[in-house]
Structure 1
Amino acid sequence: MSKYKKQSHVIYKCDYHIVWVPKYRFRILTGEVGMLMDKDIRMYSEWLGCEIAELNVLVDHVHVVISIPPKESVSTYMGTIKGKTAIKVFKSYPMLKKRPYWGNHFWGRGYFVNTVGINEDQIRRYVKYQKDEERKEESNQQGFDFDPGT
């Protein structure tokens, strides 16, 4: 990610570290569902004019380090990403909607956001290697595994 970006009337550096989870933090972002999320988050981010520096879709949460232009707010970005990906996953896996705990909501209500400044390299390394840390933790404990095919 270059230091500064330029649009017609603005030069900016608006980088964020954002984390969000599926409803009830179910461990559903695996296999095909995880690959679908990765692809769609990248596609919708590009559609909004945002540039992803790091993206990591883990089994129960998503990390992204992203540059969002000043014309877009973080809340608009998150509303678009969470809304569009939820519609797509329910369309691709209609059996998920039948389960009583999902309703029409795939994602949890909130998200974590932090501006990325001086500690950008540290945050990018954290996001990049988070999956390795998750694997270490998973080997130590059993979790709820969700198979979207059931």
Structure 2
Amino acid sequence: MTRYRRNAGATFSLKFHIVWCPKYRRPVLVPPFDARLKEIIAEVAAEADMIIHALEVMPDHVHLFVEADATLAVAEIVNRFKGRSSRLMRAEFPALKSKLPTLWSRSYYAGSVGNVSAEAVKAYIAAQKGA
């Protein structure tokens, strides 16, 4: 695996830790739902050329560490995962429809993850003026 990815106009390393929960944080992501959710997330990632570095499905939330192309905004990334998984999971498992009005809450957490600390970037930028 290389440190950086490239597309036609950019070199980048964009990795995100994303967390989202079922509506009302209900603990519904248990077998067999959890295994199917992992499959759907993997399909979405493959279609968008994203790399999943880590994925854990807990009964009441999902943790995803994903690397994406610079052309994708984090909100679009989250919407792709949540939208497809909600639609397919509720179609395949009618029990989810009876327990929840929608599968996912509207909110999510997204944090950027990098190899360099914020302080190192600030120091590097500050040093550029004198260079």
Q: TM-score, normalised by structure 2?
A: 0.83
Q: Residue 110 of structure 2 is aligned with which of 109, 113, 131?
A: 113
Structure 1 distance, partners of 2:37, 2:114, is 27
The structural deviation recorded for 1:26 is: 0.9
CA RMSD of aligned residues (A): 1.6
Q: 1:95 to 1:59 in 2, by over 3 A?
A: closer
Identity score, percent:
26
Q: 1:92 to 1:80 in 2, by over 3 A?
A: same
Q: How many residues align?
A: 117
Within a 5 Å distance, the mapping from 1:67-146 to structure 2 comes to 67-99=67-99, 102-103=100-101, 105-118=102-115
The structural deviation recorded for 1:98 is: 3.1
Unaligned runs of 5+ in 2: 118-131
Structure 1 distance, partners of 2:2, 2:18, is 19
Per the alignment, residue 124 of structure 1 pairs with none
The structural deviation recorded for 1:2 is: 3.1
**Which protein shows a greater Rg?**
2
The structural deviation recorded for 1:89 is: 0.8
Unaligned runs of 5+ in 1: 121-150
Structure 2 distance, partners of 1:81, 1:59, is 17
Per the alignment, residue 18 of structure 1 pairs with 18
